[in-house]
């Protein structure tokens, strides 16, 4: 499995993440709890966002037909890259 080492181009607001993934709000947060999507980045008082490169990497993995276990591993790698940055 290839990991995305690309630096974030932008932070996407929740609305854009939902649109790109065809998810409901609760669906997104269920995926986060299941380890199938990265956690958000705090942007302010009540605002959060997701690095665009992470969203793109997860979408690409889904399109490629990766299993949930493979996507969980990708999500762990993406979180590790955040910490290393």
Query: What total number of domains does the chain contain?
Result: 1
This prediction's pTM: 0.88
Q: Specify if 77 maps to a domain.
A: yes
Only one residue has tokens 């269920």, namely 30
For residue 62, being part of any structural domain is answered with yes
Q: Is residue 61 part of a domain?
A: yes
Strand, coil or helix: what is 49?
strand
The per-residue pLDDT for range 6-57, each reduced to its tens digit, is: 666 799 999 999 999 999 999 999 999 999 999 999 999 889 999 999 999 9
Rounded CA separation 75/69 (Å): 10
Strands (E), the chain: 11-13, 41-42, 48-51
What contacts 75, CB < 8 A, 6 or more positions away? Answer: 35, 36, 37, 38, 58
Residue 1 has a pLDDT of 45
Q: Does 36 map to a domain?
A: yes
Q: Does residue 3 sit within a domain?
A: no
**pLDDT exceeds cutoff 70 at 4:** no
Whether residue 41 is contained in a domain is answered as yes
Q: Which range of residues forms the domain containing residue 35? A: 11-84
The answer to the question of residue 1 being in a domain is: no
Q: What is the pLDDT of residues 55-83, one digit of tens each?
A: 999 999 999 999 999 999 999 999 999 98
pLDDT the model gives residue 6: 66
């Amino acid at each position: 499995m290839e990991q995305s080492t690309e630096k974030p181009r932008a932070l996407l607001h929740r609305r854009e993440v939902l649109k790109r993934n065809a998810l409901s709000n609760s669906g997104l947060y269920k995926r986060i709890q299941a380890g199938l999507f990265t956690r958000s980045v705090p942007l302010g008082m009540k605002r959060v966002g997701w690095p665009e490169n992470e969203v793109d990497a997860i979408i690409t993995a889904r399109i490629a037909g990766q299993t949930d276990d493979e996507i969980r591993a990708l999500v762990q790698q993406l979180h590790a890259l955040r910490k290393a940055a």
